[in-house]
């Protein structure tokens, strides 16, 4: 069967109507992009602060690369790798040496026992996925887990980071929410006696 051509004026009218709809849609402010812009700027600011404040140094595990140790960005900010079980920390002789760290720079032994850098990715079960901005701010400002739990151990630089202002902590948290989640359950810290 041959399609009957659409009568001339009807086709023109519907084209005009279509163009009108397109024009109308284009003239509306798009709510998504209007809101996205500040959100993207905040995430970018967070990325900048995380990069320049050294979070990767301890929270992204180091691996051996062609020209020495380098951060393993496939595990970006996911903390001490759960597959890496470490032997007891070496006992240091009396003297000025105080702290040792693992080759990944994610496990640290010192007078506080052994601490493992946390998973900062948005994984719900093993990272910060269930944290609110209030939990994050509370932790950094008070130096206690979620602002009310156990003390956050060295070498997490709480004494420096507690001086971040609200906008900076908001930006860091927004960035941490935007990165790929990595499932990695970081071990609990060990008290000084157990670490020996």
CA proximity to 128, closest of 85, 171, 178, 53:
178
Provide long-range contacts, Cβ within 8 A and 24+ apart, for 35-41. 39/174
Residue 157 lies near ligand HEC (rule: CB under 6 A): yes
Whole-angstrom distance, CA of residue 126 vs CA of residue 43: 22
When asked if residue 53 is in the footprint of ligand HEC (CB under 6 A), the reply is yes
What span, in angstroms and rounded, lies between the C-alpha atoms of 67 and 39?
Answer: 37
Which span sits near ligand HEC by CB under 6 A: 22-30, 39-47, 86-94, 153-161?
A: 153-161
With 0-12 / 13-18 / 19 or more C-beta atoms within 10 angstroms meaning exposed / middle / buried, residue 31 is exposed
| Contact range with ligand HEC by CB under 6 A, out of 31-39, 64-72, 85-93, 152-160 | 152-160
Q: Which is nearer to ligand HEC, 93 or 159 (CB)?
A: 159
Least Cβ distance, residue 184 to ligand HEC (angstroms): 13
Of 86, 155, 187, 195, which lies in the binding site for ligand HEC, with binding defined by CB under 6 A? 155
d(CA 61, CA 55): 11
Q: According to CB under 6 A, which one of 170, 181, 187, 189 is a site residue for ligand HEC? A: 189
- CA-based nearest residue to 180, from 78, 69, 38: 78
Site mask, ligand HEC, residues 132-151, x = CB under 6 A? -------x-----x------
Contact positions vs ligand HEC (CB under 6 A): 50, 53-55, 57-59, 108, 115, 117-118, 120, 139, 145, 152-153, 155-157, 161, 172, 189
């Amino acid at each position: 069967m041959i399609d009957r051509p659409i009568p001339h004026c009807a086709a023109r009218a519907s084209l005009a109507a279509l163009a009108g709809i397109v024009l109308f849609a284009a003239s509306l402010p798009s709510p998504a992009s209007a809101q996205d812009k500040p959100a993207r700027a905040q995430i970018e600011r967070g990325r900048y602060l995380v990069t320049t404040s050294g979070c990767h140094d301890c929270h992204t595990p180091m691996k051996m690369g062609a020209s020495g140790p380098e951060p393993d960005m496939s595990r970006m900010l996911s903390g001490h790798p759960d597959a890496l079980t470490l032997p007891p920390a070496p006992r240091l002789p009396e003297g000025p040496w105080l702290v040792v760290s693992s080759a990944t720079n994610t496990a640290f032994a010192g007078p506080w026992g052994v601490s493992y850098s946390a998973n900062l990715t948005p994984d719900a079960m093993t990272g910060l996925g269930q944290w609110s901005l209030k939990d994050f701010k509370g932790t950094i400002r008070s130096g206690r887990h979620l602002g009310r739990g156990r003390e956050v151990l060295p070498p997490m630089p709480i004494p420096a980071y507690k001086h971040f202002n609200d906008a900076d902590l908001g930006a860091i948290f927004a960035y941490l929410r935007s990165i790929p989640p990595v499932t990695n359950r970081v071990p609990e810290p060990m008290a000084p006696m157990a670490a020996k």
